[in-house]
A and B are shown apart, each in its own frame.
Chain A
Amino acid sequence: MLEKEVVVTNHAGIHARPSALLVKMASRFDAEVFLSCEGTEVNAKSIMSVMMLAAALGSVVKIRTEGADEVEALRAIEALFASKFNED
């Protein structure tokens, strides 16, 4: 199991479109991917759950991956956050 904390840096936060990107990315991996924010952890392969987090700019989100390709999954999700979801 791997864990890493990232900060939401895109201006609009994790709204619908970034959520879709996150879910699509997470679904590419066999590993389980979870995101948690303000104490709530959700499955990153479920779009409604990810949107429920409603993580705003500056929020700290913890990524947790577990499974065969957990390293790659963590790296990919982290990169997505770093890319500001192609926004801003």
Chain B
Amino acid sequence: MEEIIYKTENGNTRVIEKMIVSKFFEDLKHRMDFELLCSKGLDQRYFNQRDLHRPGLALAGFVKLFTHEKIQILGNTENYYLLSLSEEGRRSAFNKVFEFPIPCIIVTNGNTVFPEMLELCKEKNIPLAVTGLNTTDAIHLISGYLDEMFAPEISVHGSMVDVYGIGMLFTGKSGIGKSEIALDLIERGHRLVADDTVKINRIAENILVARGHSNLKHFMEIRGVGILDVREMFGIRAVRVQKRLEVQVDLQLWDGKEEYERLGLDEQLTGILDVKIPLIRLPIYPGKNITVIAEAIALNQLLKIYGYDAAKEFSEKLTKEIQNKQALSTKVVDTYLERDFE
């Protein structure tokens, strides 16, 4: 069985449709220190929810709106409640809850698992594991993992470089020189994230993270030369595995008819996975040093992040200057009037 089933949204966005429970346990077993008490159903059960659920109410008998399709976390609250019941009471509570196709159950705080629960899990093929972590830590860790796994992803044709700590994505037509610019930036001490195919994930509401394809690693193709291994050539400091995407630089062949940004007062934005990031349309022509411009873009972006916008600053200064000039000319009128002895 396939571990993860993907689906495509909006034409080019890949999201997880469902994921097999065994992969979840496999990926987290070291971090969570799981003790798998019931492994039945591990390879048959899929889940499709990134959220977790604590089934306290369901155990108490209220199963309306019970989000059974989520991973169920049994913390201290549930444990104490179950302890307060008789064995018979627990059995009926479990019976009611386990009627639902639950993906798996995780007991936190290293709490002892009730034999009747384990028995029922085995009967119903519901995987059950215990972790020594407390509930908050366990939920935090699992949520982080699931958020990352379920993050929507797109693949973009371009080069991703970390320039002075700013994640820059270079896009543009095939053959315009994206890889060459990346190579030049690496030569100047910046770090390659990915070349040719860049995978971008939205890991939080407004955060994009770019990384390379696992097959491509840090290989790149330079036209006329062939395939290069950047990590081998320039060493470990020339590469990095992933980087937050902060600016997109779209390279375009210079066109005299096209109007390019001259001031930088109005930031153009691009939407990748619905996250707005600055877009710079950069006209290029032979002999133009894009690398230096890329560095300048990165530094300017850093200044903006730190609250200094050069274009705005300059514009305000100029406006003030013009106002002063105007004030001066009215002053001349004032002096004239002062000397008007009518």
Using CB atoms and an 8 Å cutoff, list the residues of chain A in contact with chain B.
12-17, 19-20, 23-24, 27-28, 47, 51, 54-59
Residue B321 lies at the interface, judged by CB distance under 8 Å to chain A: yes
Evaluate contact between A54 and B322: CB separation under 8 angstroms.
Answer: yes
A51–B265 Cα distance when bound, in Å, is 14
Evaluate contact between A13 and B326: CB separation under 8 angstroms.
Answer: yes
Given known pairs A47-B262, A47-B263, the reply for A15 and B319 (CB within 8 Å) is yes
**CB<8 Å pairs between A and B, sample of 13:** A13-B322, A14-B322, A15-B318, A16-B311, A16-B314, A16-B318, A17-B263, A19-B263, A27-B256, A56-B326, A56-B329, A58-B329, A59-B325
In the assembled complex, the CB of A88 is this many whole angstroms from the nearest CB of chain B, namely 14
In the assembled complex, the CB of A21 is this many whole angstroms from the nearest CB of chain B, namely 9
Q: Of A14, A20, A56, which is within 8 A of B263 by CB?
A: A20
Using CB atoms and an 8 Å cutoff, list the residues of chain B in contact with chain A.
256-257, 259, 262-263, 265, 311, 314-315, 318-319, 321-323, 325-326, 329
In the assembled complex, the CB of A47 is this many whole angstroms from the nearest CB of chain B, namely 5
A58 CB contacts on chain B under 8 angstroms:
326, 329
Evaluate contact between A20 and B325: CB separation under 8 angstroms.
Answer: no
Evaluate contact between B263 and A12: CB separation under 8 angstroms.
Answer: no
**A contacts with B: majority SS:** loop
In the assembled complex, the CB of B176 is this many whole angstroms from the nearest CB of chain A, namely 22
A27–B259 Cα distance when bound, in Å, is 9
**B contacts with A: majority SS:** helix
In the assembled complex, the CB of B126 is this many whole angstroms from the nearest CB of chain A, namely 65
Evaluate contact between B265 and A16: CB separation under 8 angstroms.
Answer: yes
Evaluate contact between A54 and B318: CB separation under 8 angstroms.
Answer: yes
**Which of the listed residues A14, A15, A23, A57 has the most CB atoms from chain B within 10 Å of its own CB?**
A15
Q: A15-B318, A20-B262 are in contact. List 10 more A-B contacts (CB 8 A).
A: A14-B322, A16-B263, A16-B318, A20-B263, A24-B262, A51-B318, A54-B322, A56-B322, A56-B323, A58-B329
From B256, which residue of chain A is reached at the shortest CB distance?
A27
Given known pairs A56-B329, A58-B329, the reply for A15 and B263 (CB within 8 Å) is no
B319 CB contacts on chain A under 8 angstroms:
12-13, 15-16
A24 CB contacts on chain B under 8 angstroms:
259, 262
Evaluate contact between A54 and B321: CB separation under 8 angstroms.
Answer: yes
**Which of the listed residues B259, B314, B318, B326 has the most CB atoms from chain A within 10 Å of its own CB?**
B318
Q: Of B259, B263, B325, which is within 8 A of A54 by CB?
A: B325
In the assembled complex, the CB of A77 is this many whole angstroms from the nearest CB of chain B, namely 16
Evaluate contact between A56 and B325: CB separation under 8 angstroms.
Answer: yes
Evaluate contact between A12 and B329: CB separation under 8 angstroms.
Answer: no
Q: Which 8 A-B pairs have the closest CB atoms?
A: A16-B315, A13-B322, A56-B325, A56-B326, A56-B322, A20-B262, A15-B319, A54-B321
A14–B323 Cα distance when bound, in Å, is 11
B259 CB contacts on chain A under 8 angstroms:
24, 27
Evaluate contact between A17 and B265: CB separation under 8 angstroms.
Answer: yes
A24–B260 Cα distance when bound, in Å, is 8
**Which of the listed residues B311, B318, B322 has the most CB atoms from chain A within 10 Å of its own CB?**
B322
A23–B323 Cα distance when bound, in Å, is 22
Evaluate contact between A55 and B315: CB separation under 8 angstroms.
Answer: no
From A38, which residue of chain B is reached at the shortest CB distance?
B325
A31–B321 Cα distance when bound, in Å, is 30
In the assembled complex, the CB of A61 is this many whole angstroms from the nearest CB of chain B, namely 13
A12–B326 Cα distance when bound, in Å, is 9
